[in-house]
Amino acid sequence: MLNKSIKELSSLLNKKQISSVDLVNETYSQIEKFDSKLHSFITVKDKSVTLKEAEEKDKNRKSDSSVVFGLPFAVKDAYVTKDLRTTAGSKLLENFNSPYNATVVEKIIKAGGILIGKNNMDNWGHGASNENTNYEIPHNPWDMERITGGSSGGSAVSVSTRMVPFAVGEDTGGSIRNPSSMCNISGLKVTYGRVSRYGAIAYASSLDTVGPMAKSVEDLSYLLEIMAGHDDHDATSSRLPVEKYSQYLGDSIKGEIIGLPKEFLEKGLDPEIKKTVLTATKVFEKLGAKIIEVSLPHFIYGISIYYLIALSETSSNLGRYDSFRYGDKRELFSNETVRRILLGTYALSSGYADKLYKKAQKLRTILIQEYDQALKKCDVLLSPVTPSLPSKIGEMISDPLKNLLEDLYTGTVNLVGAPALVIPAGFSENNLPIGLQIVGKKFGEGELFQLGYSYQQETDWHKKLPIILK
């Protein structure tokens, strides 16, 4: 059942052909079958409690209930939850229980979603492989020896293996997009401010975004309708009205202009990923879109700018876990996190702030202008997600620079604040998933859904299941 779309599940529930109790049972049976090997969850809620919730949902279902009413779901362990501990992937918060739910969690629960558990992640969101977790390292269901991508790796695995119909991820520099691509699911990084960050454990506050991860673009569009909107608890959340995103599904993409930044296909990109992006352009052309070349001359500085800003902000945000205010013991910060705090503190210290932090901020403005310019010539940008295929577990952790480079195509989008959709677009010769990124104009999520949905009507990459399920 959990292989069906959110809309299908909701309609079967309405017709009483299935029940929420069935769905919750299936969720736990998938978790029991696979998660001792895959480690997509850090904490799973007690089954007797969620089954009770499901019974309630079955009783109280109305014909106009939300599409997620009675559906199980998971959230990255970066969001605080009242009933379950929140670790942010770190031992430092191993015993932390929040007195309230993050806004996004609260919204989904209010709409009738049943929270099943908290997904594995890199400590504080620090990483692109999910190996920087203090819990078991999650494994990629397409190849058990490989990484899931990160930092929302656990969420990607739980959707990819149909443990839950959808999950909530967090994306500061690629953390929703990178694991979505590596585990063959669809994921959305929203425009900065589209979804409230209240209750999200802060990594880098000017870059953090909250977004859905699911099996298809269609599912993502329904989820964003529930998750988006202004929140009095988050001053950076936008007051723009939330659109009916699902209305964009099925709109023709004839005449859409898709820009392909020439810098994206230059050095550093795996040839199989490059080929996949180029093949995807043909699909869009067939659907009536036009592909043009654009340029982002400062793109090559993107990673340096991203890490200067992200690490400066994280050094400030993590100051609160000094074990006087929050957190067990600060010795429990991982090596990677200590490295990031040190670099960030250095970039902000007097004498260096002008040369490093301020310069990065100026370059951030230039990047914003360049993206704006490019998006005047076209409607969206097409891009790879990561420069390389999922590596073997252990390879990246010994090569921190490679880990940082994974954000080459995603990190700049967070600097700019734009939305970006990731959809499955093919496989490498050794059967590893390859995703495609479509970057839109600010608050242009609807157009991304329109394009992504058309692509998924034409292709069936997103329907392919990992070997482990066969």
Contact 374, 174 (CB under 8 A): no
Cβ neighbors of 100 (< 8 A, separation 6 or more) are: 80, 82, 199
Neighbours of 257 (CB within 10 A): 14
By the rule CB under 6 A, 151 interacts with ligand GLN:
yes
Write down the least CB distance from residue 320 to ligand GLN, Å. Answer: 18
Q: Which stretch binds ligand GLN (CB under 6 A): 32-40, 61-69, 172-180, 427-435?
A: 172-180
Whether cis (ω within 30° of 0) applies to the bond prior to 151 is yes
Question: CA triplet 361, 363, 367: central angle to 5 degrees?
Answer: 115
Of residues 310 and 438, the one with the C-beta less far from ligand GLN:
310
Q: Which span (21-29, 168-176, 226-234, 363-371) binds ligand GLN, by CB under 6 A?
A: 168-176
If we measure between CA atoms, which residue out of 177, 150, 40, 141 comes closest to residue 404? 150
**Pick from 89, 112, 165, 173: which binds ligand GLN (CB under 6 A)?**
173
Nearer to ligand GLN, 411 or 466 (CB): 411
Query: Per rule CB under 6 A, is residue 203 in the interface with ligand GLN?
Result: yes
Distance, CA of 462 to CA of 269 (rounded, Å): 22
For residue 100, give both structure tokens. 């309230």
Distance between CA atoms of residues 448 and 188, nearest Å: 9
Q: Does 125 bind ligand GLN (CB under 6 A)?
A: yes
Least Å from the CB of residue 235 to ligand GLN = 21
Residue 390 contacts ligand GLN per CB under 6 A: no
Q: Which residues pair with 422 in a beta bridge?
A: 187, 437
Please, which of residues 398-457 interact with ligand GLN by CB under 6 A?
407
Residues belonging to the active site? 76, 151, 175
Distance CA 24, CA 53 (A): 9
CB-based contact 2:30 (threshold 8 Å): yes
User: Minimum CB separation from ligand GLN for residue 335, in Å?
Assistant: 14
Binding mask 270-309 for ligand GLN (x = CB under 6 A): ----------------------------------------
Q: Is 336 in the site for ligand GLN (CB under 6 A)?
A: no
Kindly determine how many residues on this chain lie close enough to bind ligand GLN according to the rule CB under 6 A: 14
Please tell me whether residue 181 binds ligand GLN under the rule CB under 6 A: no
Whose Cβ is closer to ligand GLN: residue 180's or residue 456's? 180
Q: What are the backbone angles phi and psi of residue 401, rounded to the nearest 5°? A: -65, -40
